[in-house]
Structure 1
Amino acid sequence: MIIYPAIDIKNGKCVRLYQGDPSKETVYGSDPLTVARRWESLGATWLHIVDLDGAFAGRPVHYEVIARIASTLSIPVQVGGGIRNSEDVEKYLEAGISRVIVGTRALKDPEWFSQVCTAYPGRIAAGLDARNGFVAVKGWKNVTSVTVAEVARIWNDLPLAALIYTDIARDGTQRGVNVKATESLLKITRHPVIASGGVASIEDILVLLPLVKEGLNGVIVGRALYTGSLKLEEAIRIVNYHLSGRER
């Protein structure tokens, strides 16, 4: 299982929001590239980046800094936030981004999403951000009447890299991952799932390990890494021990 350190960029800085609310922001670094290098040096094998300004604006805002991160690091990077046309998908992929995350337009324009997934098989991840089981779009501002289960079934035939499932109510709260909802999604989709939202400690990651055999690819961790309640090196070591069958 992969632990994805998260870098959320807002106003050029590395921040964390509480439940996706832009008015509840904590700044954890003035230079996202420095933060990215830190996570790589501590053993991260992937990096998860969100252009928060892009998510709210509906277009990439921090393309240059994200492209610089991708070209500097040796580990793969996945990026989301405001990516809503084919040109931006192609631009990110050509910049060295390994995986592009599409959320809002994937839901609003299924035909286009199918086309872009087919054009870049295994390079597109779908962002499934939900409040109480219903998918939210446009930077989590608008909650639709469509359920996570309904969307997951529709996307089953697409050549997706993964589904990134975020429980918005838990994001940035360190209240624990929504294991039940994640498990339910795994029973519906044929794609790998990356869980997100609520990780506070190593225990929150360990409870997800039984889901690896069901198709869980990894977990995104943000605030817990920045506050120090979870140590990246230790988390990676413990997860590797458990998955290899050894005792802690």
Structure 2
Amino acid sequence: MRIIPAIDIIDGKCVRLSQGDYNQKTIYNEDPLEVAKEFEANGIKHLHLVDLDGAKSSHVVNWKVLERIAVQTGLQVDFGGGVKTDEDIKVVFESGAKQVTGGSIAVKDAAIFEGWISKYGNDKIILGADAKDGRIATHGWLESSELEVVEFIKEWNKKGIEYVICTDIAKDGMLAGTSNELYEEILGLNKLRDNNIAKPSFDGLTSKDEIPAFAGIKLIASGGVAVVDDLYRLREMDCEGAIVGKAFYEGRITFKQLREFV
């Protein structure tokens, strides 16, 4: 399982929010590049970079932060926040991102998002499935939709999505443990496919012929990681990756523990 530290950006600074609330903001470093270099120096290879200004304003804002990190480190960066247009995603990839996460765009303009999967490949595009009370939230978690999160993931999986970052907003930044029941339900789609067994809990599927429509979902868990034991549990569940934020910054998980985990 990949360990993916998160750097969230507001006004060019490294911050963390609690439950996505922009009014509950803690600044951890004025220069995100310093944080990224520290991660790399301790053996980290991947980074989840979130443009919170972009998410709020519906267009990419902090692409220069991405560019500095991509040029001055060897980290493999996935970038999310405010990527809404073909020009946005072009700028993000040209600035050095290896993957792009789209959440609100997959809800508000599915045709554009589906076009990105076709153009860039499903190894480059990540579906951002941010859940609030079991429903998909958009626009930096400031708006809610009526879309049920597991159904949302299942439908995009049929359209070619493999990588999914799922964040339970209630858990994010709270250091209270991960949303394991939700992740088990999502990963149940993989078990359904692999076992070729129909289960009524998945929209009443009753025919074996329907099962192969599901491709493998590579689930990246996000939100609530508090201690290293949370990571072991996520790995046991077969999560492909885990995003860690505040637990790093608050010293709840050390680099020594991560090396032992890996």
Normalised by the size of structure 1, how large is the TM-score? 0.92
Task: Measure, in 1, the Cα distance between the counterparts of 2:61 and 2:127.
Answer: 20
**TM-aligned CA deviation for residue 233 of structure 1:** 3.7
Contact residue 219 and residue 241 of structure 2 kept, 8 A: yes
**TM-aligned CA deviation for residue 159 of structure 1:** 3.6
Task: Measure, in 1, the Cα distance between the counterparts of 2:153 and 2:244.
Answer: 23
State the SS of the aligned residue for 2:237. Answer: helix
Q: Which of these residues, 234, 242, 246, is aligned with residue 219 of structure 1?
A: 242
**TM-aligned CA deviation for residue 183 of structure 1:** 1.1
Counterpart of 2:136 in structure 1: which amino acid? V
State the SS of the aligned residue for 2:174. Answer: coil
Task: Measure, in 1, the Cα distance between the counterparts of 2:98 and 2:163.
Answer: 12
Q: Which runs of 4+ in 1 moved over 4 A?
A: none
Residues 53-74 of structure 1 show CA distances to partners (whole Å, capped at 9, x for unaligned) of 1110111111111111111111
**TM-aligned CA deviation for residue 158 of structure 1:** 3.2
Instruction: Name the Cα RMSD after superposition.
Output: 1.2
Alignment partner, residue 108 of structure 2: 108
Alignment partner, residue 175 of structure 1: 176
Alignment partner, residue 148 of structure 2: 147
* Match status 1:10 vs 2:33: no
**TM-aligned CA deviation for residue 51 of structure 1:** 0.5
Task: Measure, in 1, the Cα distance between the counterparts of 2:255 and 2:85.
Answer: 34
Task: Measure, in 2, the Cα distance between the counterparts of 1:71 and 1:84.
Answer: 24
Alignment partner, residue 235 of structure 1: 258
Task: Measure, in 1, the Cα distance between the counterparts of 2:2 and 2:88.
Answer: 26
Counterpart of 1:231 in structure 2: which amino acid? T
Counterpart of 2:229 in structure 1: which amino acid? E
- Number of aligned pairs? 236
Residues 121-176 of structure 1 show CA distances to partners (whole Å, capped at 9, x for unaligned) of 01110100011110000110111111111211111133435100000000000000
State the SS of the aligned residue for 1:207. Answer: helix
Contact residue 15 and residue 28 of structure 1 kept, 8 A: yes
When residues 236 and 132 of structure 1 are mapped into structure 2, their CA distance, relative to the original with a 3 A threshold, is farther
State the SS of the aligned residue for 2:240. Answer: strand
Alignment partner, residue 197 of structure 1: 223
Contact residue 76 and residue 98 of structure 1 kept, 8 A: yes
Alignment partner, residue 195 of structure 2: none
Task: Measure, in 2, the Cα distance between the counterparts of 1:162 and 1:38.
Answer: 26
| Gapped regions of structure 2 (runs ≥ 5) | 191-215
Task: Measure, in 2, the Cα distance between the counterparts of 1:154 and 1:195.
Answer: 19
1:44-55 superposed matches below 5 A: 44-55=44-55
Contact residue 64 and residue 95 of structure 2 kept, 8 A: no
Counterpart of 2:14 in structure 1: which amino acid? C
Bigger CA drift: 6-15 or 152-161?
Answer: 152-161
Contact residue 174 and residue 198 of structure 1 kept, 8 A: yes
Alignment partner, residue 24 of structure 1: 24
**TM-aligned CA deviation for residue 191 of structure 1:** 2.0
Contact residue 126 and residue 161 of structure 2 kept, 8 A: yes
Percent identity of paired positions between Structure 1 and Structure 2: 39
Contact residue 163 and residue 218 of structure 2 kept, 8 A: yes
Alignment partner, residue 243 of structure 1: none
